[in-house]
Amino acid sequence: MLGLTAVDVGVSLLEEAGMGAVRTKGVALTTYAAGLAAAWLAPIGFSLASPAEADRRGSHISLRHPEAFRLSRALVEEADVVPDFRPPDILRLGLAPLTTSFDEVWEGMHRIRRLASERAWEHYSAVPGRVT
């Protein structure tokens, strides 16, 4: 029952905001993140794996980095950033338009830049753990 209540609230929020507004904010969030990635992360070894054209992206952004797996572990453990890792070298960030702010995008990208600059991935194994 509680799960259905949460779904009902989520659907109500989508209905109130309107899908057009949700899409508009999703594009704005990913455009902002891509700009920060170009300015902050490209100089330290990242590249944009998502389409450069905003109309071809969903509400996520994917970044390519040779240490994406270990960096994803560092982000979870040290920076309260929860990315997805996609083999072989993709760090994927979901930017939910209804709940993600531009300040949170800035902060998350700043944390990625900080940990990557510090080579924080060196403290983590390159061997994936078991999924249970």
- What letter would DSSP give residue 47? E
Question: What are the pLDDT digits (tens) for 61-89?
Answer: 999 999 999 999 999 999 999 999 999 99
| Residue 131 belongs to a domain | no
Question: What are the pLDDT digits (tens) for 49-64?
Answer: 999 999 899 899 999 9
Q: How many domains does the chain have?
A: 1
- Is the pLDDT at 43 greater than 80? The verdict is yes
Check which CATH number belongs to the domain holding 63 and give it. 3.90.1150.10
| Residue 129 belongs to a domain | no
| Residue 128 belongs to a domain | no
Q: Which of the two residues, 9 and 66, has the higher pLDDT score?
A: 66
What count of other Cβ atoms lies within 10 Å of the Cβ of residue 30?
24
At residue 77, what is the residue type? Answer: E
Query: Dmax over Cα atoms in the chain, in whole Å?
Result: 49
Domain containing 6 equals: 2-123
Task: pLDDT band for 3, please (50, 70, 90 cuts).
Answer: low
Which two tokens mark 89?
């070298």
Distance CA 89, CA 25 (A): 27
